[in-house]
Structure 1
Amino acid sequence: MTIDEGLAQYSDWAYAATVLVYFLALIGYAVEGAFGQATRKRAEARQLVGAGAPTEVPIGVIEQPRRRTGAERFGRSAAALTVLGALLHLTSLVLRGFATGRAPWGNMFEYGAATMFVAVVGWIVLMRKFDVRRLGAFVMTPVVVLLFLGFTVFYAEAAPVQPALKSYWLVIHVVAAASSSGLLLIPGVISVLYLVRLRHETGKPSAFGARLAPADTLDRVAYQTTVFAFPIYTFGILAGAIWAESAWGRAWGWDPKEVVAFVAWVVYAGYLHSRATAGWRGPRAAMVNIVGFVVILFNTFFINFVVTGLHSYA
């Protein structure tokens, strides 16, 4: 199959622009996270200060909306940049797909790009549903770092996939794996922040913990995102087993990639089961969620590049 070098070049340019825009968004989120709470409190205090100014709005008087602080403007700009970056990100993936004439996730570079795209889209959805925008720096940091590493360390020229990957299961299995892994990045990061915030709320206050969303909100975001991602991850494992049966004549062969993927599945299943039956809604559940994501990262990087197995296509 002929590779369209022009489209491949445009895809790389869109990828580079994506990383730059995400980095600018990260800076905006960081400014809001660092200064947003303090400036908001000062603005509210100024509204209450006055010579005998009433604290309640008189009947018949329309209450004026609170003016946004400078830090909040940075946060809104960061959210807009995130959406712009996601559009560039999608453009990069689509162009790579047209350039190669296949699904654009046939190597580690492309798989990482697809996974981070899902993570960013998931974050955009969560920002609309929950008041968690000021946590954006913590979510965008691993996204920017992994995309940068993808373009510098894991980069692969546009090329046809290996013969073993020429199957429609490349679309089904890898889409499920990349989507679930990208979504699970968010509760992994949020669970770490939850532990910091919980420590702040339980008698060991810190300036960093004070800037985070309430612990209940963080716990709910992590749980609901995991609940959504887990069935997709389960389907990805099942699809991989069906593909393995078709390609290698067995659904399970104790390949390192298969084993670690199953370990991650057990960890997340234990997390959801304990939340549903044992009522774990504290640091123990958060730790289990963090362990699950560490296993996902281990499977994505260490298994692909250090351990030799049937899945060594990176």
Structure 2
Amino acid sequence: MTDPQLALASDIAIWASLAVLALALISFSAHLALTGAAKERRADVRAREQAPVGAGAPAAAWHGRVEAPGHLDESPASAAVEPPTVSHPGGVTRRWGVIGMQLTWMATFGVVGGTALRGLSVQRWPLGNMYEFAIVSASFALVVFSLWSLKRDRLWLGPFVVLPVMAVLIAGKVWYTEASQLMPALDNTMWLSIHVTIATLSVALFIIGAALGIVFLLRDSAERKGPVRGWLAGLPQANKLETMTYGIHIFAFPLWTVVLITGAIWAEVAWGRYWGWDPKEVWTFVIWAVYAAYLHARATSSWTKRSATWVALVGMLCIILNYTVVNLLITGLHSYSGVSS
């Protein structure tokens, strides 16, 4: 039994949330640009203050004191990098970032509400096709980011979370499926709610982890070249970003392990075997293996953190391939994308 009115309300909520997220992306980007410019100016002032007398800027004279040579920063690059404890320079408005966060909260309620309406319209968990997988994953990503921002200042991370979430929602709309009942193989409420819910939560965490990994690589490259300029100066230091990237994956990987295990159990219930080398099963294991390799590389001294992060991004690429190519082009027992061929 499907309620078309609730399904329509769900669609409207998702589309409206996409528009709100677009505004949030603009606000977060403005905040990052303003913060980066302020930190860049501040770093330039510090560099002039710490320059030796006679080198173009009388450092100590500006403050009425003489600095001892040992107090001078010997690293030109480090003079332009904010201390790890400073996340936002004083005197710079956070207005745009706060507006972006408020808009993100609005979009979060919209996407979660649209997802709930989708489930009510079909009287089941909204996890039966590619579109529903997309909106549930986006819901989890927005909820995790919004709650995380309550604990820490994560306004700088806003653009890098909102943009991929918008991409996920747009992809879901591209492969939209009308609200309908489940195919027989999926018609198991307990395993559907456990297996696919954990899968969507894992993917949401991996999306945030990939966003952090990309930001880390960009910031680290900038730091290696010298003083960090532009919007990159508005980001935390590279080592802090890498630690956050690792921390997110530490949470996500055990969840994906549960996905692999519960999928095997559900396969035995549905098809009478735990493992049958179905394309979806194989790719679920491939994703698990790639992220296991990332965690191993991260803990191995012979691997640099940059190299290990690239492995994590390969894992995100595998998730994208699993969602798109495997669902749409490869025939198997898990061919339930819902997209008309």
TM-score by length of structure 1 reads: 0.87
Q: In the aligned structure 1, how far is the partner of 2:229 from the partner of 2:33?
A: 13
How many residue pairs get aligned? The number is 297
**8 Å CA contact 2:17, 2:110 repeated in 1:** yes
Q: 2:180 aligns with which of 159, 165, 173?
A: 159
Q: 2:123 aligns with which of 101, 109, 116?
A: 101
Which is further off, 116-125 or 18-27? 116-125
Deviation sequence 1:255-281 (CA, Å, 0-9, x none): 111111111101111222233354755
Q: 2:326 aligns with which of 303, 306, 310?
A: 303
Deviation sequence 1:179-205 (CA, Å, 0-9, x none): 101110111121122111111112355
The equivalent residue for 2:243 is: 220
The equivalent residue for 1:256 is: 279
Q: In the aligned structure 1, how far is the partner of 2:311 from the partner of 2:229?
A: 24
- Please tell me whether residue 200 in structure 1 is matched to residue 199 in structure 2: no
Matches within 5 A, 1:35-54: 35-39=34-38
- One-letter identity of the residue aligned with 1:154: W
- One-letter identity of the residue aligned with 2:35: G
Matches within 5 A, 1:73-222: 73-151=95-173, 153-167=174-188, 168-203=190-225, 207-222=230-245
Does the residue aligned with 1:141 lie in a helix, a strand or coil?
Answer: helix
**8 Å CA contact 1:271, 1:288 repeated in 2:** yes
- One-letter identity of the residue aligned with 1:163: P
Q: In the aligned structure 2, how far is the partner of 1:149 from the partner of 1:247?
A: 29
Q: In the aligned structure 2, how far is the partner of 1:178 from the partner of 1:233?
A: 10
The equivalent residue for 1:294 is: 317
- Please tell me whether residue 234 in structure 1 is matched to residue 257 in structure 2: yes
The CA deviation at 1:207 is 3.4
TM-score by length of structure 2 reads: 0.80
Q: In the aligned structure 1, how far is the partner of 2:246 from the partner of 2:276?
A: 32
Which ranges in structure 1 are unaligned for 5 or more consecutive residues?
46-51, 55-65
**8 Å CA contact 1:40, 1:69 repeated in 2:** no
Does the residue aligned with 2:225 lie in a helix, a strand or coil?
Answer: coil
Identity of aligned residues (%): 38
The CA deviation at 1:219 is 0.5
**8 Å CA contact 1:14, 1:88 repeated in 2:** yes
The CA deviation at 1:39 is 3.9
Q: In the aligned structure 2, how far is the partner of 1:131 from the partner of 1:279?
A: 33
Q: 1:127 to 1:280 in 2, by over 3 A?
A: farther
Which is further off, 256-265 or 32-41? 32-41
**8 Å CA contact 1:219, 1:281 repeated in 2:** no
Deviation sequence 1:53-84 (CA, Å, 0-9, x none): 99xxxxxxxxxxx87634x2111111111111
The CA deviation at 1:177 is 0.8
- Please tell me whether residue 6 in structure 1 is matched to residue 5 in structure 2: yes
Q: 1:268 aligns with which of 288, 291, 294?
A: 291
Q: In the aligned structure 1, how far is the partner of 2:127 from the partner of 2:232?
A: 38
The CA deviation at 1:147 is 0.8
The equivalent residue for 1:30 is: 29
Q: In the aligned structure 2, how far is the partner of 1:96 from the partner of 1:140?
A: 22
Q: 1:68 to 1:312 in 2, by over 3 A?
A: farther
- One-letter identity of the residue aligned with 2:166: V
**8 Å CA contact 1:43, 1:69 repeated in 2:** no
